[in-house]
A and B are shown apart, each in its own frame.
Chain A
């Protein structure tokens, strides 16, 4: 049983499309992270949320604490957005990670 589930696992989009990646979790959390991992392994933290919504450029992250669900949206997607997007939650002293969503944006 995974504490964090992401969907879809794989996603291919045309450049310019609006993209949504979903994350559901089953534990009580103090924070939820959206991470971006490019080929080669480096991980960059995109957002950290405990409530509501955050926006950074073309990226928007929302969280619904009652429903234990978060979404990451990418507007006007671009090939450079191609990466694996990972949802992670902090629960007490533990971090739980989703298996990631592999996004490919085609020119």
Chain B
């Protein structure tokens, strides 16, 4: 089974520029998550999709961050314009609906390391 794919793996941009990250979840996984992990901290959920609908985007800074999952499969996360404090690893994860509620399993991609200068 192929894992969660993310690209690019690394990105360096200047502040006020725009950037986009791509995620392809495990085939058949209905739920997709984007996390932001700042160095030295645990991941913070930015947005959760169920198929192509948003379940939770309460921690997404909507003035500059946007995400979409138009066909309920792969997803893009965009930052426009970027700030210095956006430097972090952006992790994508997916999970299947076809598991018991108590055995919720997430599979993580390798992450995209963003550096804003």
Q: Footprint of B on A, CB under 8 Å?
A: 4, 30-31, 33, 35, 40-45, 48, 50, 86, 88, 90, 93-95, 97-100
> What residues on A are CB-neighbors of B40 within 8 Å?
99
Given A30-B101, A30-B102, the answer on whether A93 and B108 have CB atoms closer than 8 Å is no
If over half of A's interface residues share one DSSP class (helix, strand or loop), that class is named, otherwise mixed; here it is: strand
Complex contact A41–B43 (CB within 8 A): no
Complex Cα–Cα for A6 and B48 (A): 24
Min C-beta distance of A94 to chain B, whole Å: 7
Q: A85 to chain B: closest CB distance in Å?
A: 11
Least distance between B98 CB and chain A CB atoms (Å): 15
Q: Which residues of A contact B41 (CB under 8 A)?
A: 99-100
Task: Report if A93-B48 is in contact (Cβ < 8 Å); known contacts: A42-B110, A42-B111, A98-B42.
Answer: yes
8 Å CB interface, B77-95 against A: 89, 91, 93
The interface bits of chain B over 39-57 (1 if a CB of A lies within 8 angstroms of the residue's CB, else 0) are: 0111111001000000110
Q: For the complex, what is the distance from the CA of A50 to the CA of B113, rounded to whole Å?
A: 32
Contact indicator A93/B111 (Cβ below 8 Å): no
| Contact in complex: A48, B48 (CB < 8 Å) | no
* A90: B residues at CB distance < 8 A: 104
Which residues on B sit within 8 Å (CB–CB) of A94? Answer: 45, 56
Most buried by A among B42, B45, B48, B91: B42
Top-3 shortest CB links A-B = A97-B42, A41-B111, A43-B108
Contacts of B55 in A (CB 8 A): 93
With A41-B37, A43-B91 in contact, is A100–B108 under 8 Å at CB? no
Which residues of chain A are within 8 angstroms of B106 by Cβ–Cβ distance? Answer: 33, 45, 95
Complex-state Cα separation, A93 to B49, whole angstroms: 11
Bitwise, B1-42 to A at CB < 8 A (1) or not (0) is 000000000000000000000000000000001000100111
